[in-house]
Amino acid sequence: MPTILYRNDPDIAPQDVMKIAVYAEHVGRQCYDVFETDGSRSRSESLSRRARDVSDSLDFGDDPYFSPETTKKVLDLRNTVWGMCFDYFGERGHLGKSTDLLRMAQDVEDVLDKLVIRYLSPEELEEAEAEADWAHESQFYPKIEGDNPNIIPRDDKGFGASA
């Protein structure tokens, strides 16, 4: 888990507070995180509470301030929305995040960059680098037969069959 340090004197503008408020409002009204097998969806009490807590804790004054508690609430809401929270629903049960939600999420990230500094421990940094290397290099590994029906079958020596 990364270490999060809260900045003592963040440079926050009233527009930053509005970005967070719009995000919390959208999540509280448009996003769902509970999905039933019959196709119905609902908003969990946890998601509703997180969105409400963020909205209730915002400072809309001329010189806004985000306390560490408010910042933590914003982080908690953002983490919840990154998970199984969707506001776009297509045909045959497709779940997605709308372009509006993705833009708002980027706005929230921009505000959070003003509020917090994230540090990874040496172990976390090493793990993240290894994961990034694996993801990059895995695209070059041959697929094993059975993983994907569109892959060329192999001969008995492990080479792709020739045509």
Total domains present in the chain: 2
User: Are 54 and 114 in the same domain?
Assistant: yes
Q: Give the global pTM.
A: 0.69
User: Are 137 and 104 in the same domain?
Assistant: no
User: Are 103 and 128 in the same domain?
Assistant: no
Rounded-to-integer distance, Cα 78 and Cα 112, Å: 10
User: Are 28 and 76 in the same domain?
Assistant: yes
User: Are 105 and 66 in the same domain?
Assistant: yes
Res. 127 pLDDT band, cuts 50 70 90: confident
Contact 9, 64 (CB under 8 A): no
Write down the residue that tokens 């953002």 correspond to. 78
User: Are 80 and 19 in the same domain?
Assistant: yes
Contact 155, 161 (CB under 8 A): yes
Rounded-to-integer distance, Cα 20 and Cα 114, Å: 13
User: Are 98 and 132 in the same domain?
Assistant: no
The Cα-based distances of 106 to 10, 125, 136 in angstroms read: 18, 23, 24
Contact 39, 123 (CB under 8 A): no
- Average pLDDT for 49-62: 93
- Average pLDDT for 74-89: 89
User: Are 98 and 114 in the same domain?
Assistant: yes
Res. 25 pLDDT band, cuts 50 70 90: very high
User: Are 73 and 38 in the same domain?
Assistant: yes
Res. 126 pLDDT band, cuts 50 70 90: confident
Tokens representing 81 are: 């929305």
- Tell me the CB-side half-sphere exposure of residue 75, using CA atoms within 13 A: 19
User: Are 73 and 130 in the same domain?
Assistant: no
User: Are 64 and 137 in the same domain?
Assistant: no
Domain range for 64 is 3-119
User: Are 79 and 133 in the same domain?
Assistant: no
